Amino acid sequence: MVPTNYYLLLSAILFGLGIVAFVFKRNIITIFMAIELMLNAVNLAFVAFSQALGKPDGEVFVLFVIIVAAAEAAVGLGIIILTARNRRSLNVENVNLLKL
Amino acid sequence: MSAQVVIFFVLALIAVFGAVSLIVQRHPIHSALSLILVMVALAGLYLLMGAEFVAAVQIIVYGGAIMVLFIFVIMLLNAGVEERTNLSRLAFYAGIPLAVAVTALIAAAIVGSKAATALPAAAPDTLTSTRTLSMLLFTEFVYPFELTSFLILVAILGAIVLAQREN
Amino acid sequence: MNEFLTHWAFLIVPIVKIAILVFIVLTVDAYLTWIERKVIAHIQARWGPHRVGPHGLLQPLADGVKFVFKEDPMPANADKVAYFLAPFITLMLAMTSLAVIPFGPQRFTVFGYETHVGIADVNISLLVLFAITALAVYGVALAGWASNNKYSLLGGLRSSAQMISYELALTLSVVGVLLIAGDFSLRNIVDQQAGSGKGLWSWNIFPQIIGFVCFFIAAIAETNRVPFDLPEAESELTAGFHTEYASMKFAMFFIAEYTNMITASCLATIMFFGGWLSPFPDSWTFAHYLPSVLMIPFGLWVIFDGVKYENLFGRLLLPGVGTVIAAIGAALIVFPVANDAIQGIFWFLAKVFTFLFVYIWMRGTLPRFRYDQLMSFGWKFLLPVSIANVVLTSAVILWRMH
């Protein structure tokens, strides 16, 4: 029997690490992966609450979050490929013009 | 300590190690592999919490489809090692206090909130069957379910349009 | 000692079962290469390996020794982590997928610990197998990328794209079986096919023939076998994603491929052909003697073939093996308890070996697909047919409910 607070603490740590990766990495794909890490941390919190309250509603929400993350990854990576081809680099510091 | 707490700590350590490795690694492929490690560890944690279907879907969809997409894009774009500029060095060393502060704030907010203290201390050992999940998904949550299928259709169309060659 | 075993039985019994299963599977893998080379050779009107040991039976041993002693190179500028990780991931996933397969119906108790024939009995065993299939793409993609060789990268990307495309058809073709059985657990799928003792007629192959054909084709594509083996064929892209791997790492890919074949055959028998169920109706009790009826004449034939062999080693080994087989067959007649216990496993192994023979037969007979034909077959034919199978099955189930 693991206390629910342990899971919530782990979720907070992973979310914080995701924010750190999002702010401090400069490769656009790594930043995108940090977003996925944050989504995973939130999923963990959802399932922890679902187990604590005894209702399966949280797990259904996790399924929706996973589906939305998949759709977002597909479109986001398409945009990244186009931007990278245009700018010829994957460094976000190079995407600093308002017009491509 | 019961066996479950031991397994929890092992999986939690693997997940945190993977997340730190995502930040520390210089090549995006190694960051992607670390993220896959985090996802597999989280799937193990879901199994520990009795959510077996969610654990399987996490590995199949997240670990087997989304991360494969990431790895394909990294290979196709031939992403190289990240360069070290002055700005990135400053950010790396000055950012560690910020990281600790943000994590502590979120942790305090989650653990100290009224909702968290109202929960029972340790949840009972239940196994959520797929039948329960699917009954819920198709009765109470049928509108979001149909909307997400629409969303996926829109995403497919968007990806196809974005990947077209200019004629 | 007895109390120690009883207290820790929940840990020791699975470890012993895992050790036995890994040993058996590795031996079957090795002799599967022998069977494959012999069968393909006879299809092509030549002998296969026949020099190393009687009838070439020690050829897998020679191959193993060769793999151990060969040089294990690493290409310059290769990504060391990914290069080491790729064969390791592939072999680990192939071996893990055997953990959730039930091999027989019996449940027995050892040292007070109730267990069954199989390593893990989970509620979602089919989903676990799909998860492992989904993760198997990484081994191939990382192997192609880590070799720092543009042909390997191209072969690796082609192979992973092929695996992802056919993974969808694989998953959807099984949904018909899931709708009929109502459960993800492989053990329950077989139990549901037991029906009313009608034997062959209650298996899932009859309502789900389209699903079986789609599943088998998708499984061949997933395991990278002929006719879908363009990414790893030696005459194409210089052996594809495992070009730069030699010796032990190549052996890991090799073993993983044969283990994946075994897992796909086990899945096909469990889901569509009744697993460990006998095709004869339950009332035909004389059919219980079939293992003995097959083993005794085969053992005697091996003895007669062995005593006429050309060198001394064959004259000793083959009659020995034949005597063991005939003795086991006779023992099964004399001890009916053993005979009842062996029935489920005998039928399971017979069906799995039939599917493995079909795999090898296809390798000797069919030409391979070109890459664009392969992708268009997967997306434009197999996926719509699988979806149509799901719709048809649900329509029939709904109609039968009223």
Q: What is the pLDDT of residues C68-84, one digit of tens each?
A: 898 888 888 778 888 88
- Residue C309 located in a structural domain: no
Q: What is the pLDDT of residues A73-85, one digit of tens each?
A: 999 999 988 888 8
Question: What is the predicted pLDDT for the residue at C77?
Answer: 79
The token duo for B4 is 């479950």
Is the predicted pLDDT of residue C376 greater than 90, yes or no?
yes
Of C123, C138, C167, the CB nearest to B52: C123
Is the predicted pLDDT of residue B121 greater than 70, yes or no?
no
- Residue C308 located in a structural domain: no
Q: What is the pLDDT of residues C196-237, one digit of tens each?
A: 767 788 888 888 999 999 999 999 999 888 888 877 775 565
What total number of domains does chain C contain? Answer: 1
Å from B64 to nearest chain C CA? 5
By the CB < 8 Å criterion, does C157 face chain B?
A: yes
For residues B143 and B123, membership in a common domain is answered with: no
Q: What is the pLDDT of residues A13-35, one digit of tens each?
A: 999 899 888 888 888 999 999 99
Q: What is the pLDDT of residues A46-64, one digit of tens each?
A: 999 898 888 899 999 999 9
DSSP B112: T
Instruction: Count CA atoms closer than 13 A to C203's CA, side-chain side.
Output: 21
- Residue C192 located in a structural domain: yes
For residues B96 and B166, membership in a common domain is answered with: no
What total number of domains does chain B contain? Answer: 2
Q: What is the pLDDT of residues C271-329, one digit of tens each?
A: 999 888 888 887 777 888 888 888 888 888 888 888 888 788 888 888 888 889 888 88
Whether B65 and C134 lie within 8 Å, measured CB to CB:
yes
For residues B79 and B140, membership in a common domain is answered with: no
The token duo for A66 is 């996973």
Neighbours of B93 (CB within 10 A): 9
Whether B65 and C164 lie within 8 Å, measured CB to CB:
yes
Band the pLDDT of B115: cuts 50, 70, 90.
Answer: low
Report d(CA B57, CA A63) in Å as an integer.
Answer: 8
By the CB < 8 Å criterion, does B21 face chain A?
A: no
C157: containing domain: 2-283+335-401
Of C205, C57, C186, nearest to C120 (Cα)?
A: C186
Question: What is the predicted pLDDT for the residue at C235?
Answer: 56
Q: Select the CATH number that applies to the domain covering A4-89 from these four: 1.20.810.10, 3.30.300.30, 1.10.287.3510, 3.60.20.10.
A: 1.10.287.3510
**Contact criterion met (CB below 8 Å) for C207 and C393:** yes
Alpha helices in chain A (DSSP H): 4-24, 28-53, 57-87
Average pLDDT over residues B60-85: 85
Of C85, C135, C141, the CB nearest to B63: C135
Is the predicted pLDDT of residue B92 greater than 90, yes or no?
no
Average pLDDT over residues C348-374: 91
Band the pLDDT of B120: cuts 50, 70, 90.
Answer: low
Band the pLDDT of C43: cuts 50, 70, 90.
Answer: very high
For residues B7 and B26, membership in a common domain is answered with: yes
Contacts of A50-58 with CB under 8 Å at 24 or more apart are A50/B49, A50/B51, A50/B128, A51/A4, A51/B49, A51/B50, A51/B51, A51/B123, A51/B126, A52/A4, A52/B119, A52/B120, A52/B123, A53/B119, A54/B123, A54/B124, A54/B126, A56/B128, A56/B132, A56/B133, A56/B136, A57/B136, A57/B140
Cis peptide before C227 (omega within 30 of 0): yes
Average pLDDT over residues B50-57: 92
Contacts of B130 in chain C (CB under 8 A): 123-124, 184
Facing residues of C327 across strands?
none
**Contact criterion met (CB below 8 Å) for C136 and B59:** no
SS3 content of chain C, % helix, strand, coil (to 5): 75, 0, 25
Report d(CA B144, CA B137) in Å as an integer.
Answer: 9
Average pLDDT over residues B9-34: 93
Question: What is the predicted pLDDT for the residue at C151?
Answer: 78
The rounded percent of chain A whose pLDDT value lies above 70 is 98
Q: Name the residue of chain B whose CA is nearest to C153's CA.
A: B75
Contacts of A68 in chain B (CB under 8 A): 148, 151
Band the pLDDT of B55: cuts 50, 70, 90.
Answer: very high
The token duo for A15 is 């979310």
- If 0-12 CB within 10 Å is exposed, 13-18 middle and 19+ buried, where does residue C65 land? exposed
- Residue C296 located in a structural domain: no
Q: Which of B10-14, C242-246, C307-311 has the highest mean pLDDT?
A: B10-14
Question: What is the predicted pLDDT for the residue at C113?
Answer: 78
For residues B103 and B147, membership in a common domain is answered with: no
Instruction: Count CA atoms closer than 13 A to C229's CA, side-chain side.
Output: 20
Residues contacting residue C70 through CB under 8 Å, at least 6 positions apart = C246, C247
Average pLDDT over residues B81-88: 66
Is the predicted pLDDT of residue A1 greater than 90, yes or no?
no
- Residue C297 located in a structural domain: no
Our measurement of the distance from residue C317's CA atom to the centroid of its chain's CA atoms, rounded to an integer in Å, reads 28
For residues B15 and B27, membership in a common domain is answered with: yes
Question: What is the predicted pLDDT for the residue at C239?
Answer: 63
Is the predicted pLDDT of residue B137 greater than 70, yes or no?
yes
Helix axes A28-53, B67-77, angle to 10 degrees: 170
Least confident of A39-53, C34-48, C307-321, C362-376: C307-321
What is the overall mean pLDDT for chain B? 85
Of C123, C113, C117, nearest to C98 (Cα)?
A: C117
For residues B39 and B20, membership in a common domain is answered with: yes
Q: Confirm whether the ipTM is greater than 0.90.
A: yes
Residues contacting residue C6 through CB under 8 Å, at least 6 positions apart = C111, C112, C113
Average pLDDT over residues C8-16: 85
By the CB < 8 Å criterion, does A86 face chain B?
A: no
Chains C and A touch (3+ CB pairs under 8 A): no
- Residue C321 located in a structural domain: no
Region class of C71: left (phi > 0), else alpha (psi between -120 and 50), else beta? beta
For residues B14 and B57, membership in a common domain is answered with: yes
Report d(CA C235, CA C227) in Å as an integer.
Answer: 14
Question: What is the predicted pLDDT for the residue at C107?
Answer: 80
Q: Name the residue of chain B whose CA is nearest to C86's CA.
A: B33
Question: What is the predicted pLDDT for the residue at C238?
Answer: 65
Is the predicted pLDDT of residue B50 greater than 60, yes or no?
yes
Of C383, C165, C178, C398, nearest to B53 (Cα)?
A: C178
Facing residues of C113 across strands?
C110
Helix, strand or coil, per DSSP, at residue B75 = helix
Contacts of B54 in chain A (CB under 8 A): 47, 59, 62-63
- Residue C322 located in a structural domain: no
Q: Name the residue of chain C whose CA is nearest to B43's CA.
A: C131
Global pTM?
A: 0.91
Q: Name the residue of chain B whose CA is nearest to A18's CA.
A: B19
CATH code of the domain covering residue B51: 1.20.120.1200
Question: What is the predicted pLDDT for the residue at A24?
Answer: 83
Is the predicted pLDDT of residue C341 greater than 90, yes or no?
no
Q: What is the pLDDT of residues C55-114, one digit of tens each?
A: 888 899 999 899 889 888 888 877 888 888 899 999 999 999 999 999 888 887 777 778
B50: containing domain: 3-128
**Contact criterion met (CB below 8 Å) for B60 and C130:** yes
Residues contacting residue C56 through CB under 8 Å, at least 6 positions apart = C34, C37, C38, C48, C49, C50
Question: What is the predicted pLDDT for the residue at C116?
Answer: 83
Q: Which of 33-52 (B) contact A at CB < 8 A?
A: 35, 38-39, 42, 45-46, 48-51
For residues B121 and B133, membership in a common domain is answered with: no
Question: How many residues in total does chain B contain?
Answer: 167
State the residue for tokens 């039928």.
Answer: C347
Our measurement of the distance from residue C2's CA atom to the centroid of its chain's CA atoms, rounded to an integer in Å, reads 37
Band the pLDDT of B87: cuts 50, 70, 90.
Answer: low
Of C390, C305, C296, nearest to C54 (Cα)?
A: C305
Of C359, C182, C333, nearest to C269 (Cα)?
A: C359
Average pLDDT over residues C7-23: 88
For residues B105 and B136, membership in a common domain is answered with: no
Question: What is the predicted pLDDT for the residue at C198?
Answer: 75
Whether B56 and C160 lie within 8 Å, measured CB to CB:
no
Band the pLDDT of C393: cuts 50, 70, 90.
Answer: very high
Ordered by start, the domain boundaries in chain A are 4-89
- Residue C294 located in a structural domain: no
